[in-house]
Structure 1
Amino acid sequence: MKDTNVADDVMRAAVELFAANGYANTSVQQVVEAAGVTKGAMYHYFQSKDDLLFGIYDRMLSLQKEHLDAIIERGGAVGDVVRAVCVDVIETSIDFLPEGTVFFRSMHMLTAPRQSEVTRRRRDYNDTFAALIEQGQAEGLYRSDIPRPVLIANFFADVHYLSHWYSPEGPEGKTLLAEQLTDLYLAGIDARAANGGAR
């Protein structure tokens, strides 16, 4: 049976080192020393430093996709589903703030196959989210005077920018912040915003 604690220790050490020194300036040897494991133990879970960087993002994205699918499966009005999805993706992004910060700063250094895999995974999430927005537009909830990709990019730009200013030690907890950002986003795409507030 695999010792998942080893993988967690390696991942945690990698995130800390990549954040402090940069991905390019961190060696595999530094990661294994910080994790207190051997190179052999690390290579049991991660084939390369590239694989480790991908794994950092994969863990976060996999969790967010699982949550997205579960929220949709529960059903309900599309407006409620979209709101729940938005709150969740902000909360989980805050939970994985160090991982997200490291990944977005270093993703251009991934090998081409890994970059393609990241693109595919992100597109899968994006397409599912886009389908919800499309349904809301069809029901007259969300504005259609702005292209759907712009509406979607507006939300995820805020999510990706979190690491530049949000601090978990700040006065607002993740749930309150997630609700506030979601309220701002949904108010901006509300169909009433396209015609001065009147349906």
Structure 2
Amino acid sequence: MTDLKERIIQSSLELFEKHGYHGVSINQIVEHCGASKGGFYHYFHSKDELLYVIHDTFITYVLEKANQAKQTYNNPTEKLQAIIESFVKVFDLYKPHISVFYQESTYLKPDYEELIKKKRDQFKQNIFEVLQEGQDKGEFRSILPVEITGMAVLGMVNWTYKWYRKNGEKDIEEISHVFVDLILHSVLTGETLQQDRYTDFFLQTKMNS
């Protein structure tokens, strides 16, 4: 991403968070980042497209990480662990983007909203597929309904945006380990929990190392 495009995005994030989407004009954005209207329109056709790019940035990141986890690891426990860690860390990497998303997502144009929804659905489906694979292979508890469990994971992690602070007592790495421990202890069978190859995923092991 070019410096100017990044400056435009960062300025719009600051202004949207402070004044709301409709409270900010393109003129204010370019003035804030020291650009010109020509520079703005070189990268974005409209303010609507800019809002879409802000939303798309972090959704694309978590989707790519989930796809990468599915391709990298052979077993569902490792896949789920990797997906959870990258999912939690997005709230540190893209906190302003996510704040604007929750504040201003209602203003997305229908075409852009559909593109975002498609990626969100793909990410959700990735989690469902890994959970189903884990049950099929006997690593995850089969008594847990896949869709309810998947939605519980999404809801639990998504709520991070409400309370996470970069200067908090725990950094995002430590927080991601807590989520992994909570979720894996919930979904793994007792037999899987005892496997040595997964012990590094749990807090007790990290505390003792």
User: Of 112, 115, 133, which aligns to 1:114?
Assistant: 112
The question of whether the paired residues in 1 share the 8 Å contact of 2:134 and 2:140 is answered with: yes
User: What 5-or-longer segments of structure 1 have no aligned partner?
Assistant: none
User: What 5-or-longer segments of structure 2 have no aligned partner?
Assistant: 194-209
Q: Which residue number corresponds to residue 168 of structure 2?
A: 170
SS in 2 for 1:24: helix
SS in 1 for 2:167: coil
Alignment partners' CA distance in 1, 2:104 and 2:141: 35
Q: Which residue number corresponds to residue 38 of structure 2?
A: 40
Relative distance call for 1:184 and 1:34 in structure 2 (3 A) is same
Over the matched positions of the two proteins, sequence identity in percent amounts to: 23
Q: Which residue number corresponds to residue 12 of structure 2?
A: 14
Q: Which TM-score applies when normalising by structure 2?
A: 0.85
User: Of 103, 106, 109, which aligns to 1:105?
Assistant: 103
Alignment partners' CA distance in 2, 1:25 and 1:147: 44
Alignment partners' CA distance in 2, 1:142 and 1:25: 48
Alignment partners' CA distance in 2, 1:186 and 1:104: 28
The Cα of 1:146 is off from its aligned counterpart by 3.6
AA aligned opposite 1:4: T
The Cα of 1:136 is off from its aligned counterpart by 0.4
Alignment partners' CA distance in 2, 1:187 and 1:128: 20
CA shift digits 1:144-179 (9 cap, x unpaired): 334322111111112221121110101111111001
The question of whether the paired residues in 2 share the 8 Å contact of 1:142 and 1:191 is answered with: yes
User: Of 124, 142, 145, which aligns to 1:144?
Assistant: 142
User: Of 53, 74, 77, which aligns to 2:75?
Assistant: 77
AA aligned opposite 2:20: G
Structure 1 position 65 matched with structure 2 position 63 = yes
Alignment partners' CA distance in 2, 1:42 and 1:75: 41
Aligned residues: 191
Alignment partners' CA distance in 1, 2:15 and 2:156: 26
Q: Which residue number corresponds to residue 201 of structure 2?
A: none
The Cα of 1:191 is off from its aligned counterpart by 4.1
The question of whether the paired residues in 2 share the 8 Å contact of 1:65 and 1:125 is answered with: yes
The Cα of 1:62 is off from its aligned counterpart by 1.9
TM-align CA RMSD = 1.7
Q: Which residue number corresponds to residue 189 of structure 1?
A: 187
Alignment partners' CA distance in 2, 1:189 and 1:72: 18
